[in-house]
């Protein structure tokens, strides 16, 4: 997000707190490979959406995530991913 590239994430844990589908990234259903494929194809084919998501993601990262230390963010994301894997 901070690098102004569109992102695709699964609907796991805290990722949905950061990424809003079609607002600042794309979400796909965990363990549904066809959903991930569709997101990739959508970004590959829709330049306007790709640019919109990249811009919105960058703005979100600067506004919302810049005040939190990178180490703390990584630790929190790792904790959330581990929790999600346990479910």
Compare 68 and 42 and report the one with higher pLDDT. Answer: 42
Cα 10 to the center of its chain, rounded Å:
8
Domain spans in the chain, listed from the N-terminal domain onward: 8-86
For position 52, what pLDDT does the model report? Answer: 97
Q: Give the integer Cα–Cα distance in Å for 59 and 37.
A: 26
pLDDT, tens only, 17-44: 889 999 999 999 999 999 999 999 999 9
- Contact criterion met (CB below 8 Å) for 28 and 35: yes
What pTM, to 2 d.p., does this model score?
A: 0.73
Compare 2 and 18 and report the one with higher pLDDT. Answer: 18
Q: What is the largest CA-CA distance in the chain?
A: 37
């Amino acid at each position: 997000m901070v690098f102004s590239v569109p992102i695709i994430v699964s609907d796991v844990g805290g990722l949905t707190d950061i990424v809003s589908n079609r607002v600042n990234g794309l979400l796909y259903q965990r363990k549904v490979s066809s959903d991930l494929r569709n997101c990739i194809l959508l970004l590959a084919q829709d330049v306007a959406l790709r640019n919109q998501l990249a811009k919105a993601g960058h703005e979100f990262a600067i506004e919302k995530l810049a005040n939190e230390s990178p180490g703390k963010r990584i630790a929190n994301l790792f904790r959330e991913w581990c929790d999600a894997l346990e479910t």
